[in-house]
Amino acid sequence: MVPDADGVLFRQLTNGWVPCNILVGRDGTVLFSENEFDEAGYTKAIAGLYREPVEQQPAAKSAERSILRRASFKAARIVILGGGTGGLVAAYHLRRRLAREHRVVLIDRLPDHLFSSSLLWLMVGQRQDHQIRRPLGRLADQGVEFHRDDIEEIDLGRKVVRTRSRTFDFDYLVVSLGAQLAPDTVAGFDDMAYNLYDLEGSKRIHAALEAFSGGSIGVFIPSMPFKCPAAPYEAAFLVEAFCRKRRIRDKAEIHLFTPEHQPMPVAGAAVGEAIAGMLGARGIHYHPLYTFEKLRPERREIVASNGSATQVDLLLGVPPHRAPEVVRSSGLVGISGWIHADPQTLRTEHEGVFAIGDITSIRLPNGKMLPKAGVFAHAEAKVVAAQIASEVGGHQPRASFDGNGSCWIELGDGKAGFASGRFYAEPDPHVRMFPPGRLWHWGKVTFEQWWLHHWF
């Protein structure tokens, strides 16, 4: 136990009120250090203290061993799980890098790729769902096999993936299944809140906003981590602009509840202060370090752990995130509840198995976690494709993920902010927030249109 009256250690080690747990072994080795509270993982780490000898986490075995195969493959089998950002980009680049005798298979339970970043625009009526979806079946035109199926088992020992209808053998596996939304873990969520991260939820939000004539609107984040760290803040900005456009802003009170001590805490104080300032300038009530306890649908209340309650007429929620069950039962997840991957190569401790995107837990030099965001999944997928292609060809892989990333922050009124930086920088990420303007908004629009046309 160490004193921290001024909160310096708190701000350095955690993203918000969620406890930061650090467990040090008898030899000085850090056995467990997570910013997102994980009771099961912490218990497992404590149990490790009583083993003889003290066991250490198998951090990136694949990075320590030689990863060059004895000979190049004549016909490699690469299976990609998930057709989101990471899976789509990995499939595209693998197919371009590998000769046709090598098989590239992508499996997803849904028929379409959804450009999730545009859900915020759909929420305020600026997009329709058909505009931000593309059939994954079109990948066949590029030589990628697409199978729409439910993934039931990942057998790492036998190197097979079992779906509801068939079995796929693999030489390489790329896990890009993302974070599973779990609104059912918050009692009353489905009765009281609209899912901000879901296509149907975004449609329902739009309908609710169109019918809204006044009252209190809340955006709430019950737990961490959550993907796309800017999204809840963008939602608040867009809702505020929507109310002004409908001339009911004077009748609307907008709140944002978050466990974070500042907006997008991993990006640093300057970015957080800039976003908090923009919330204040627009009259949005900002509640950082909010210790969410429960919802009371019958009273339309969101309740904090100290018993205080706020009534909301319209609630937009970020549901808790977790790794999909098929991944949790596969032996891939670490004590954090996510897949631990090498920060540079995205290799797991299992031979030939890579993990990218929101399913991963990648520690930064300052001990915090790399945010779960599409920009990182995109860059990681290109690195993984290069790694696999080099190895299949009998060459030493050299591609490396540098941790650089950026994001737009939609503000409404045709304006956006933009943040960009180096998240692997030491001792802390070096991120710059650019002044908001119309140019950044149109930059995001252009990227959306490029994305939906380039891969399909």
Could you write out the DSSP letters of every residue in 236-294?
Answer: HHHHHHHHHHTT-GGGEEEEEE-SBSSSSGGG-HHHHHHHHHHHHHTT-EEETT--EEE
Which pLDDT value is given to residue 45? 66
d(CA 267, CA 274): 11
- Are residues 173 and 141 located together in one domain of the fold? yes
Comparing CA positions, the residue from 270, 341, 369, 429 lying closest to residue 18 is 369
Check pLDDT > 60 for residue 237.
yes
Segment among 46-55, 188-197, 326-335 with least mean pLDDT: 46-55
Report the chain's terminal Cα–Cα distance, integer Å: 55
Stretch 305-311: mean pLDDT:
95
- Are residues 91 and 142 located together in one domain of the fold? yes
Stretch 14-43: mean pLDDT:
57
- Are residues 189 and 294 located together in one domain of the fold? yes
Asked whether the beta carbons of 44 and 334 are under 8 A apart, the reply is: no
The CATH number for 81's domain is 3.50.50.60
Ramachandran bin of 334, using left for φ above 0, alpha for ψ from -120 to 50, beta for the remaining angles: beta
- Decide: residue 202, CB within 10 A, 0-12 exposed, 13-18 middle, 19+ buried: buried
Neighbours of 59 (CB within 10 A): 12
d(CA 295, CA 189): 7
Higher-pLDDT residue of 29, 358: 358
User: How many distinct structural domains can be found in the chain?
Assistant: 3
Element of type H or E holding 42: helix 39-48
Domain assignment of residue 66, yes or no = no
Comparing CA positions, the residue from 287, 293, 286, 279 lying closest to residue 222 is 293
d(CA 378, CA 410): 20
Stretch 295-321: mean pLDDT:
97
Which pLDDT value is given to residue 367? 84
Q: What is the average pLDDT score of the chain?
A: 90
Check pLDDT > 60 for residue 12.
no
Domain assignment of residue 244, yes or no = yes
Check pLDDT > 90 for residue 265.
yes
d(CA 58, CA 381): 23
pLDDT digits (tens, 9 = 90+) for 50-108: 665 544 444 444 444 444 453 467 899 999 999 999 999 999 999 999 999 999 999 99
Range of the domain at 25: 8-57
Of 304, 321, 338, the last residue of a domain is: 321
d(CA 17, CA 415): 31
Single-letter amino acid code for the residue at 200: E
d(CA 207, CA 179): 26
d(CA 323, CA 329): 10
Domain assignment of residue 146, yes or no = yes
Which pLDDT value is given to residue 36? 47
CA distances, 171 to each of 72, 156, 285, 383 (Å) = 12, 11, 52, 18
Which residues, listed in sequence order, are joined to residue 434 by a DSSP beta bridge? Answer: 418
Asked whether the beta carbons of 292 and 220 are under 8 A apart, the reply is: yes
Stretch 314-330: mean pLDDT:
97
- Are residues 246 and 271 located together in one domain of the fold? yes
Check pLDDT > 50 for residue 395.
yes
- Are residues 362 and 306 located together in one domain of the fold? no
- Are residues 187 and 303 located together in one domain of the fold? yes
Q: What is the pTM of this model?
A: 0.88
Domain assignment of residue 453, yes or no = no
d(CA 236, CA 214): 15
Domain assignment of residue 222, yes or no = yes
Ramachandran bin of 294, using left for φ above 0, alpha for ψ from -120 to 50, beta for the remaining angles: beta
- Are residues 29 and 14 located together in one domain of the fold? yes
Stretch 285-289: mean pLDDT:
97
Stretch 332-355: mean pLDDT:
95
Check pLDDT > 60 for residue 39.
no
- Are residues 316 and 335 located together in one domain of the fold? no
Sort strands 103-108 and 145-148 into parallel, antiparallel or unpaired: parallel
Stretch 250-270: mean pLDDT:
96
Tokens 């304006």 found at: 415
